[in-house]
Amino acid sequence: METWAEEVPKIVWAYHTTPQSTTKETPFSLVYGSDAMILVEIQKSSPRFQNFVAKESNEERRVNLDLLDVVREEARIKAKALKRKVENKHKSKLKPRQFQVVDFVMRKAHPYQLENKLSPKWIGPFRVIEVLWNGA
């Protein structure tokens, strides 16, 4: 039986060779300019492995390296667009609240403040002593 330490390199390799949801690219391809050939493709004699021609591969590699900056920029734009989409969705669910100096408020408890799963999730009340920017 393998220990978790022996499994870590396999997990990291799987992560680096899997397309990410934000960029639709693999981290390996964003660094090296081409997709990695995983062990299963080599062991099972996949078409990609069987049809390998070194000369054509070198030419394709040069083209991929020339286009690497463009691919990275597209990935950056996709990641930024997704981040903006998630941010807008989060902002749409927020309810604006205005506090006054005399108000009482509750604060969400940190996990270390909870004794068990039945502990109150909020602590307080606290009196507002100063109103800051943006509803704080």
Bridge-based pairing state of the strands 104-108 and 122-127 = antiparallel
Over residues 57-66, the pLDDT tens digits come to 788 888 888 8
Alpha carbons 84 and 132: distance in angstroms, whole number: 26
pTM for the structure as a whole: 0.62
Provide the token pair at 37: 């050939």
Alpha-carbon gap, residue 73 to 99, rounded angstroms: 43
pLDDT digits (tens, 9 = 90+) for 105-126: 898 888 888 888 888 899 889 8
Is a pLDDT exceeding 90 seen at residue 76? yes
Q: Give the per-residue pLDDT at 72.
A: 94
Task: Look up residue 62 and give its two tokens.
Answer: 């040069």
End-to-end CA distance of the chain: 53
User: Do 49 and 104 meet the contact criterion of CB atoms below 8 Å apart?
Assistant: no
Structure tokens at 131: 């109103």
Q: What separation in angstroms does the CA of 110 have from each of 77, 94, 129?
A: 35, 21, 22
Can you give the residue ranges of every domain in the chain? 4-93, 104-135
